[in-house]
Structure 1
Amino acid sequence: MDKTGRLGGEKITVDDLLQGRSPSLDLDCLYGLGPSDPQDARFYESDEVRLRMGITSADSGMAPLQGFDLARRASSTGEPGTALIPDHRNDENLAVAQLHLAFIRFHNRVVGELTGQGNPSVTIFDEARKQVVMHYQWMLRRDYLPRIVDPNIVEDVFTNGRKFFDVPVCASNSTTSRVGGVQPGDTPTMPIEFSVAAFRLGHSMVRAGYQWNSIFNNDDPPGDPRRFRPATLQDLFDFSGTSGSLTEIQPLPSVWIADFRRLFDLVRDGGAGPDLAPPAGGLNFARRIDTRLGNPLGELAPGSSAAEPGQPFDRITANLAFRNLMRADMVTLASGQQAAEHLEVGALSPEQILAGDNGVDLNAPAGKRNPDSAFTDEERERLVTHTPLWFYILRESEFNRGQLNGEKLDADGSPASEAVLSLRFSTGPWKGATTPSSETRPGGRNWVARRGTANSAWLTCCSTRSTVKRPC
């Protein structure tokens, strides 16, 4: 929800955070206000049902490929980024942009299935969006959350309900094709404790480099004579339209199309056949959730900050950890200790906060690399009594094997896990969370993975299937 562009440290009010994006899990970033909205119609094909896709550029012997880049404008034209999508932040790096494109392809494929069944044309968009949103929510509920949070806590929240941050819920709005939830323009209802701190835990999971496709990897032996090297995180920012320079005239080169076999375990988690298994050693894994961030996140590109025009961008501003901490201060965010007290759970001890568990050791003396890294006694006292919530959640995760599950603290449980679930799932109804595993796709064929989990690996498998030969 928070995409204001201020980075200078001035305070931000709740009214400043009002931005027109939906806080519900309704894929607002994919659909915007729908094809009938005059402003958002540009994201759709002329049939007002399918989402637009772009074409890649020829490179290294590979031809341009339609449908493997986001649709783009010729230039930024005063708007952030160049991708024709509702939220330009999804084009800040190539990994997110290609996943966004996978959802576009999935939507368009559902549209094709519904059209082939002879459904009335006036119902196809709403039905396709409903099915895509349901599967998205099902993936979050059944696949994503149990990977980062103790499954027992996930079940408890969905079984016994939320304890904090209730919000109003509106009926489905046929005008905007919303699937229930809070409408754009309503008072912000995503808790800032989530958007500014809790969900930024994902920053610690980012790798410095990726086995991206058959060209950008370190496979041994090389499977492609053009094999170059692994993709760096900086590469993924450079080949975007928000942090980088991609436009309609200069789109994504074909050699940078993502190989989803390397990004998701399509065989084990997606139920795909052996032909979609990644090359040996070519599967990327997220890093452990802890207080360490990859070095490239300390030197981000100016476009990744969403800074307002004329705002200075210096070395400290390029540091993602600094941005997170500064943002929390700008919105006067609660500390970790305050959040724990509010949630009525036990807090980390001062020694746990300082020493951690295989994370950043704040007791360590200043070194040659960071000569000013040591804390004064006053700073140390402030840190252990008013710990920034984002850092607190990452630190807590270190004591739980890189997962949010409440072990090794005390009998009261874990503020981080409660925060991530109780905060996030206070933002509207779940249309797909309780969908039975027998849910079928158009045509009666099963849309759910073999083990009853329609997850992100499975989605990419069915949305990117193509007879076009590409670097995957």
Structure 2
Amino acid sequence: MGAGDGQVSGAAPHGSHVAARDHCLSPARAVDRPTGAARYGRMFPGLDPLGTDPQLLMRAGTDGGICDAAAVLDPLSDGGDDATEAAGWPFFGQLIAHDITADRSPIAGDVAPDALRNARAPVLNLEMLYSDGPIGSPYLFDLGDPARFLLGTDGGDVPRNQQGVALIGEPRNDVHLFSLSLHVALLHAHNRIVDLLRGAGVPEAEVFDRARTTLTWHYQWIVVHDFLPRLVGASLVEQVLAEGGRWFAPPPLQAFIPLEFADAAYRYGHGQIRHSYRLVEGGSAVPLFPDLVGFGPLPADRRLDLGQVFDLPGRPAAQRAKRLDGRLAASLIGLPEQVTGVVDTAAYRSLAVRDLLRGETTALPSGEAVARLMGVAPLTGEEVGESWPHGTPLWFYILKEAEHRGGGDQLGPAGGRIVAEVLIGLLRADPAGYLSVQPDWEPTLPATGPSFGLADLLTLGAR
């Protein structure tokens, strides 16, 4: 059976629409794509591991350590560490991470780096949304109209079981209000695309696959043309698109997630989490944790107005993300148990500690070594601001590089290249992605400005 072929299921139709098709292929899946756990790998295999005393890492990442932003809050004026971009962008970045990587090994590093397995396919294909589709994951879709996602009763939440557990393609998207709100917005966007396709006369048997491809390609476009330029700069994005990756360019169907990306560079977003957030205009500001922790039903009076964290058309400017400076908000230095689970060491409640230890257990090189290999002038000791005995842990280095070489608003040259090459490289290695199928493709959904962006996708379901 060829891609896109398939027969309507023999079961009786539900409502006015045909039942979901039981087909072995779709435009979002290639016949020879691996079905087992994907692998991690190295972007810089020739560099030696840094090797830092774990006790030093834990002191750096706990209360009062160099990664704790609380110590510098008092001298700052209100909004004194605000960045240029809106506060929602690191949460969109988190959704991308959930789409392409899931390392479920213990934080203590009991698994050798070469034995790590990625529970996600390293593809930007919205697997976090669609899971196995209406056939493999029928609980995600409307029984009466399986081309559409099922939503909570009032449309503001995902459906949940009798114990409040989200029926969702990626459980981590229920970790806090922001990731869940973005997930719900994407569900609405898919359903709106279904409506648009039907209005355009697309045959019913093709509607779901067309809707999935439409949403996925627009999401990929946003990653390349909206998200990455804000994070690493438009010139670097254009360079990687034109010249390909110098350090990461996997062939089709051979993509993997570099540990330097997953356990260092792409954890940049932890440094962009604000100290507190306003959910609605005029509302009180509250910290991310524990106030906005998820993993339970979302009451109607706890909903997020996305215009508070993204610059949406016709709306006032949103709150801004925190500047990148190597420090994390207090709510991340003391994560709640709902997020970490039961830990045997109190320091493991700090996200900074977890980030630093993860880089140690996966044997990452120092930030200085990566910069020198790339031909980039390493940060000075004064810029790093901490005396590390043998070099700076890569995750912390990338945050400090963003502070001093990116103005606190963008990643610096080393961190930016890692992120840009990996995300664009993953797209090019995906035979179903728009960069492979139709590199000159442009968005077809309505846009409020000259170029389609995330703001258009987030408001699509409300139109």
**Alignment TM-score, normalising by the size of structure 1:** 0.70
Residue 151 (structure 2) aligns with: 53
User: Retained in 2: the 8 A contact 1:205–1:288?
Assistant: yes
Is 1:213 matched with 2:211?
Answer: no
Residues 9-35 of structure 1: per-residue CA shift (max 9 Å, x gap): 43443333232x121211111111222
User: Retained in 2: the 8 A contact 1:2–1:195?
Assistant: no
Q: Per-residue deviation at 1:405? A: 6.3
Q: CA RMSD in A?
A: 2.3
For structure 1, list consecutive stretches of 5 or more residues without a partner in the other structure: 56-65, 77-81, 171-181, 183-187, 220-226, 268-273, 355-361, 363-379, 407-413, 442-446, 466-472
Is 1:394 matched with 2:399?
Answer: yes
* AA at the equivalent of 1:44: F
User: Retained in 2: the 8 A contact 1:206–1:293?
Assistant: yes
Residue pairs, 1:134-149, within 5 angstroms = 134-149=217-232
Taking the aligned partners of 1:337 and 1:405, their CA distance within structure 2 comes to: 15
Residues 202-238 of structure 1: per-residue CA shift (max 9 Å, x gap): 1111112112114xxxx3xxxxxxx5x2233125543
Residues 286-337 of structure 1: per-residue CA shift (max 9 Å, x gap): 11122111111111112223x5xxx535531110000101111121122212
Which of 140, 145, 155 matches 1:67?
155
Percent of aligned pairs with the same amino acid: 30
Deviating runs (4+, > 4 A) in structure 1?
432-438
Residue pairs, 1:253-402, within 5 angstroms = 253-267=299-313, 274=314, 277-278=315-316, 283-305=318-340, 307=341, 312-354=343-385, 362=386, 380-382=387-389, 385-399=390-404, 400-402=406-408
Taking the aligned partners of 2:204 and 2:177, their CA distance within structure 1 comes to: 34
Residues 223-261 of structure 1: per-residue CA shift (max 9 Å, x gap): xxxx5x2233125543x11xxxx1xxxx21101111122
User: Retained in 2: the 8 A contact 1:211–1:283?
Assistant: no
Residue 416 (structure 1) aligns with: 415
Residue 26 (structure 2) aligns with: none
Structure 1 residues 315 and 130: CA distance shift in structure 2, 3 A: same
Is 1:460 matched with 2:443?
Answer: no
User: Retained in 1: the 8 A contact 2:250–2:425?
Assistant: yes
Taking the aligned partners of 2:216 and 2:374, their CA distance within structure 1 comes to: 30
Q: Per-residue deviation at 1:439? A: 3.8
Taking the aligned partners of 1:341 and 1:36, their CA distance within structure 2 comes to: 50
Bigger proportion of residues as helix: 2
Is 1:85 matched with 2:168?
Answer: yes
Q: Per-residue deviation at 1:349? A: 2.5
Q: Per-residue deviation at 1:189? A: 0.4
Residue 179 (structure 1) aligns with: none
Find the residue that maps to 1:286 and give its secondary structure: strand
Q: Per-residue deviation at 1:432? A: 4.3
Residues 91-133 of structure 1: per-residue CA shift (max 9 Å, x gap): 1111010001100100011011112333222211111011101
Residues 263-290 of structure 1: per-residue CA shift (max 9 Å, x gap): 21112xxxxxx4xx14xxx721111122
User: Retained in 2: the 8 A contact 1:167–1:428?
Assistant: no
User: Retained in 2: the 8 A contact 1:68–1:101?
Assistant: yes
Residue 3 (structure 2) aligns with: none
For structure 2, list consecutive stretches of 5 or more residues without a partner in the other structure: 1-100
Residue 177 (structure 1) aligns with: none
Structure 1 residues 341 and 262: CA distance shift in structure 2, 3 A: same
Find the residue that maps to 1:50 and give its secondary structure: strand
User: Retained in 1: the 8 A contact 2:226–2:453?
Assistant: yes
Residue pairs, 1:140-159, within 5 angstroms = 140-159=223-242
User: Retained in 1: the 8 A contact 2:173–2:180?
Assistant: yes
Residue 191 (structure 1) aligns with: 258
User: Retained in 1: the 8 A contact 2:103–2:116?
Assistant: no
* AA at the equivalent of 2:407: R
* AA at the equivalent of 2:261: F
Residue 231 (structure 1) aligns with: 286
User: Retained in 2: the 8 A contact 1:198–1:389?
Assistant: yes
Residues 399-444 of structure 1: per-residue CA shift (max 9 Å, x gap): 12114465xxxxxxx2122112123322233744677686433xxx
Structure 1 residues 90 and 381: CA distance shift in structure 2, 3 A: closer
User: Retained in 2: the 8 A contact 1:194–1:419?
Assistant: yes
Structure 1 residues 119 and 50: CA distance shift in structure 2, 3 A: same
User: Retained in 2: the 8 A contact 1:237–1:301?
Assistant: no
Taking the aligned partners of 2:304 and 2:439, their CA distance within structure 1 comes to: 30
Residues 22-55 of structure 1: per-residue CA shift (max 9 Å, x gap): 2121111111122222xx2322222332122113
Find the residue that maps to 1:450 and give its secondary structure: coil
Q: Per-residue deviation at 1:340? A: 2.3
* AA at the equivalent of 1:396: E
Is 1:440 matched with 2:444?
Answer: yes
Taking the aligned partners of 2:442 and 2:248, their CA distance within structure 1 comes to: 32
User: Retained in 2: the 8 A contact 1:302–1:313?
Assistant: no
Residues 444-467 of structure 1: per-residue CA shift (max 9 Å, x gap): xxx233221x222221222234xx
Taking the aligned partners of 1:405 and 1:2, their CA distance within structure 2 comes to: 23
Structure 1 residues 439 and 16: CA distance shift in structure 2, 3 A: closer
